């Protein structure tokens, strides 16, 4: 262990290997609202051993985060812990006074929150925020704390930590901010670290680095870790044991390998089936299995099994509430079917996995013939030629040089009618900028954008405005893109009225009802406001708004980011159904490569504003030609611990170079293991190699 891990003056006793670090018994957390009592955490029990890594999974609203917040008593009114015990090293946290809690938080027990930008103070430098935690707990003086802050940032993989520690949070990327949060969590050598969705909305390479870092810190610091995530691949990568939560209860518990390969609760089985996997892709099979219905109302849980209404394996006894029972050594489940010895089918990520009584989708597939790319190869709907977008920055001095951000630097792209093209790459590579250029939200610096043969790159708004009806965009964050002061009916009526799609109020109302039915929402949803919906439902409203004007081309910018696996599967199925029904063309942007492979016909890989590789989805994943693509695929976690241990991992080192001063020649050369002298001198052209497979590399496939 390095010198930076030594904690002078620590009086903390080493954790016992025989007694659990954390023992949660019958924890109940409730919200006391005007509508009634919401039972968010309803009798949860589990243990965490010294140095153990425990994963907690479940849909949004299952109680994962609320359970974690309860462990540290970080709740605010109207939430209250009404029953249970939280024994940390033998002491009940629920009985601690304020002074004891302050000593516990950040010292014995620490937490990494889901959104680092909201958890970090935007007006304080990183050094101040890191040092403050250590000084408050009395283990270091300010000088020692500053030195340790630099060491911690270096240990977290942040380059030039001496300079980084003097930065503000907004000057860091999402991955770097999450590393700062991990540094804070480990700053006082806690016995237990709670990590709440630490990789949500991060791209695959940063996600892989964070997961590797958590594993290394668990090994080097010896802290027990509780990882909360809806990403089953992340759980498989890090955790040795898993508990699955549903409707405020633990429904299954056991070793991660056993649970992910042989689930014993139908809810766990359904979650695994909803996850697209790059190692189990079925050619031609696009639809994912989803869980029918919605979780029960926490104001009024059913008396029987809480999952029974959505379960494809339900039996008559499910009308009674099952207890969490041991069915094998170390395996617990809350299910009458598996407790009786009935095995569940082996998890499969296709529609064939469901029994006849199961759910297939929220929107039934249409009987209309699917528009295929092969049918329309001669008719591209969109052509992008030499597209450039530079954002000028303020000068450092009055007569200083003009600096620019090279967001997009010479991109060529083509989409056939009815095709779905995936766009992937790390954060900051230019994906969202390219999408906004194509939609003419941004004005290009140079290049051509041909929509059905008409160049709209420099067209005036008088020309662009009517085209909005033909090309629509679904934004990453539905909450910020929907007006919170308007009802759903008003949100959907706005584009209908603006573009003159409907001629009367009655026609508009009928069209709104049709749109809501198309995206799987009830007609009464029209009178509700955006904040009254879940994240997945808000995304459906965004899709309905995009479809309102009957477009031909839809740009979906991270439409599944931060959604849990079941809602993600529902949105993917919805997009596939709508493509089949209306012959839509999609430009689909996401950082989840398994999802992109599942939904896309072709995939475009961007790196620092340039196209690195273009190929059909299967060709790209089966035989990537560019080293960057190979690294991206390697970083995708697979929800199977055995597979994760055996597959080769290629860690992509370092952050992407600055787009203000990109490297000469090949922009990936500074991180590429096979770079040679020519890579620094000559930019590699995007060259065709086989069957429409293009790569911008001097040494394609040679890694």
Average pLDDT over residues 590-614: 92
pLDDT in tens, 503-512: 899 999 999 9
* Cross-strand partners of 252: 244, 333
pLDDT in tens, 421-436: 999 998 778 898 999 9
Q: How confident is the model at residue 344, as a pLDDT?
A: 86
Phi (first) and psi of residue 45, to 5 degrees: -135, 135
Q: How confident is the model at residue 375, as a pLDDT?
A: 42
Average pLDDT over residues 521-550: 85
The confidence band for 244, taking pLDDT boundaries of 50, 70 and 90, is very high
pTM more than 0.75: yes
C-alpha distances in Å from residue 322, one per residue of 264, 337, 339, 462: 14, 10, 9, 63
All domains in the chain, ordered by first residue: 3-258 (3.40.50.300), 272-360 (no CATH), 374-470+551-623 (3.40.50.300)
Q: Which residue has the tokens 């649970």?
A: 259
pLDDT in tens, 558-598: 888 767 788 888 888 888 988 988 899 999 998 888 889 98
pLDDT over 70 percentage in the chain: 91
Residue 28 tokens read as 């109940």
Look at the alpha carbons of 166, 169, 174, 178 in this order and tell me if their dihedral is positive or negative.
positive
Q: How confident is the model at residue 201, as a pLDDT?
A: 63
Contacts 24+ apart (CB under 8 A), 161-169: 164/126, 165/125, 165/126, 165/127, 165/130, 166/125, 166/126, 166/127, 167/125, 167/126, 168/122, 168/123, 168/124, 168/125, 168/126, 169/116, 169/117, 169/120, 169/121, 169/122, 169/126
pLDDT in tens, 7-50: 433 444 444 556 899 999 999 999 998 888 999 999 999 999 99
Pick 362 or 685 by higher pLDDT: 685
pLDDT in tens, 148-182: 999 888 877 787 888 889 989 888 866 778 888 88
């Amino acid at each position: 262990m390095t010198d930076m891990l030594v904690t002078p003056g620590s009086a903390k006793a080493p954790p016992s290997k025989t007694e659990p670090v954390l023992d949660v018994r019958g924890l109940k957390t409730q919200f006391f609202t005007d509508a009634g009592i919401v039972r968010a955490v309803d009798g949860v029990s589990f243990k965490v051993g010294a140095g153990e890594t425990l994963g907690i999974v479940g849909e949004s609203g299952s109680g994962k985060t609320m359970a974690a917040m309860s462990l540290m008593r970080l709740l605010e009114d109207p939430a209250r812990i009404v029953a249970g015990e939280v024994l940390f090293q033998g002491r009940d946290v629920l009985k601690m006074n304020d002074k004891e809690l302050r000593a516990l938080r950040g010292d014995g027990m620490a937490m990494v929150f889901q959104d680092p930008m909201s958890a970090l103070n935007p007006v304080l430098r990183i050094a101040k925020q890191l040092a403050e935690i250590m000084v408050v707990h009395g283990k270091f003086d300010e000088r020692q704390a500053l030195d340790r802050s630099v060491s911690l940032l270096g240990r977290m993989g942040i380059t030039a930590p001496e300079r980084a520690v003097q930065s503000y949070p907004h000057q860091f990327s999402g991955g770097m901010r999450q590393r700062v949060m991990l540094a804070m969590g480990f700053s006082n050598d806690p016995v237990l670290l709670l990590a709440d969705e630490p990789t949500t909305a991060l791209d695959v390479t940063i996600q892989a680095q964070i997961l590797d870092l958590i594993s290394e810190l668990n090994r080097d610091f010896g802290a027990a870790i509780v990882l909360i995530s809806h990403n089953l691949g992340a759980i498989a990568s890090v955790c040795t044991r898993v508990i699955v939560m549903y409707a405020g209860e633990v429904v299954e518990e056991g070793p991660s390998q056993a649970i992910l390969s042989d689930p014993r609760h139908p809810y766990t089985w359904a979650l695994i089936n909803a996850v697209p996997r790059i190692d189990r892709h079925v050619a031609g099979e696009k639809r994912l299995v989803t869980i029918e219905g919605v979780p029960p109302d926490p104001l009024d849980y059913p008396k029987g099994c809480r999952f029974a209404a959505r379960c494809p394996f339900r039996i008559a006894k499910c009308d009674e509430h099952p207890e969490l029972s041991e069915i094998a050594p170390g395996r617990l489940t809350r299910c009458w079917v598996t407790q009786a010895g009935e095995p569940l089918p082996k998890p499969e990520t296709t529609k064939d996995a469901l029994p006849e009584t199961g759910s297939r989708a929220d929107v039934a597939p249409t009987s209309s013939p699917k528009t295929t790319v092969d049918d329309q190869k001669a008719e591209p709907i969109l052509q992008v030629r030499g597209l450039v977008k530079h954002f000028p920055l303020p000068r450092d001095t009055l007569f200083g040089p003009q600096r620019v951000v090279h967001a997009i630097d010479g991109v060529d792209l083509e989409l056939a009618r009815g095709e779905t093209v995936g766009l992937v790459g790390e954060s900051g590579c230019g994906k969202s900028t390219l999408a906004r250029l194509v939609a003419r939200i941004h004005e290009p610096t140079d290049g051509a954008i041909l929509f059905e043969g008409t160049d709209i790159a420099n067209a005036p708004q008088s020309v662009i405005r009517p085209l909005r009806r033909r090309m629509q965009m679904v934004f990453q964050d539905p909450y910020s893109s929907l007006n919170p002061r308007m009802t759903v009916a008003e949100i959907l009526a706005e584009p209908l009225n603006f573009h003159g799609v409907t001629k009367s109020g009655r026609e508009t109302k009928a069209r709104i009802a049709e749109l809501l039915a198309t995206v799987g929402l009830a007609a009464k949803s029209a009178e509700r406001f955006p904040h009254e919906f879940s994240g997945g439902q808000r995304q459906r409203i965004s899709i309905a708004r995009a479809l309102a004007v009957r477009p031909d081309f839809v740009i979906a910018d991270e439409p599944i980011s931060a959604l849990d696996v079941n809602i993600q599967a529902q949105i993917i199925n919805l997009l596939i159904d709508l493509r089949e029904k209306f012959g839509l063309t999609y430009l689909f942007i996401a950082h989840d490569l398994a999802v992109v492979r599942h939904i896309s016909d072709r995939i475009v890989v961007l790196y620092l504003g340039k196209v690195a590789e273009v190929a059909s989805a299967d060709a790209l994943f089966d035989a990537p030609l560019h080293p960057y693509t190979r690294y991206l695929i390697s970083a995708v976690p697979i929800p199977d611990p055995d597979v994760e241990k055996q597959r080769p991992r290629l860690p992509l080192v370092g952050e992407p170079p600055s787009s203000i001063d990109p490297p000469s020649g090949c922009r990936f050369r500074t991180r590429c293991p096979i770079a040679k002298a020519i890579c620094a001198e000559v930019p590699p052209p995007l060259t065709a190699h086989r069957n429409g497979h293009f790569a911008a590399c001097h040494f394609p496939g040679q890694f």
